[in-house]
Amino acid sequence: MKFIKTLFPTLFIVFLVTTTFAQKTVPDIEVKTLEGQSVSIQDYLNDDKVTVLSFWATWCSPCKKELNTITDYYEEWQEKYDMKLIAITIDNARAIRKVKPMVDGFGWEYTVLSDVNEDLKKAMNFQTVPQTFVVDKEGNIVYSHSGYTPGDEYELEEVLEGLAGDKGEVKEIKKDKKKKKKKNKEVELEK
């Protein structure tokens, strides 16, 4: 019975977000690698994986908190949900030199790309960072979230879980979420 109570809200969220963004896709825009090579964002979306696009900047504290928090779950999410995360910095040409040392310092294992001129940001039509999109295996944007507060990663995981389908791990995920949520609250109280 608990399983059904857990499954229904998850499916409802996925249905709601999927119907809201069902026809929207990521535009074919050129971005750059941290080495300065121009690449199409579409090249990173055509590998039959659910993709999380996280727009961020070095000057954005909530962005760094979000990406650092997701680091704790990333390896597990890759295995459970067949997903990947692409962190796209919107730092300008002067600040871009800070990105690689910051990424290395945090130990982020995500693909990190640069949208220095904010062409992709403008085409995706959002104003502030952090901004997170989930793109399904067919290339449709099925979820969008602006900002970050501790706990938002659980909502993101529910979307990923819904897209991946039930693998019989719902009870473990919910237990882990409660433990991690409690841990996050304790960390916030210590600050």
- For residue 6 the two structure tokens come to 């857990």
Question: What digits encode the pLDDT tens for the residues 146-178?
Answer: 999 999 999 999 999 999 874 433 333 343 444
- Distance between CA atoms of residues 101 and 162, nearest Å: 35
* Count of domains for the chain: 1
pLDDT of 190 higher than 60: no
| Domain enclosing residue 179, as ranges | 2-190
Question: What digits encode the pLDDT tens for the residues 4-18?
Answer: 555 555 545 545 444
* 49 SS3 class: coil
84-102: average pLDDT = 97
pLDDT of 21 higher than 50: no
From 40, 103, 118, select the one nearest 67 (Cα to Cα). Answer: 103
**Looking at residue 174, which CATH number applies to its domain?**
3.40.30.10
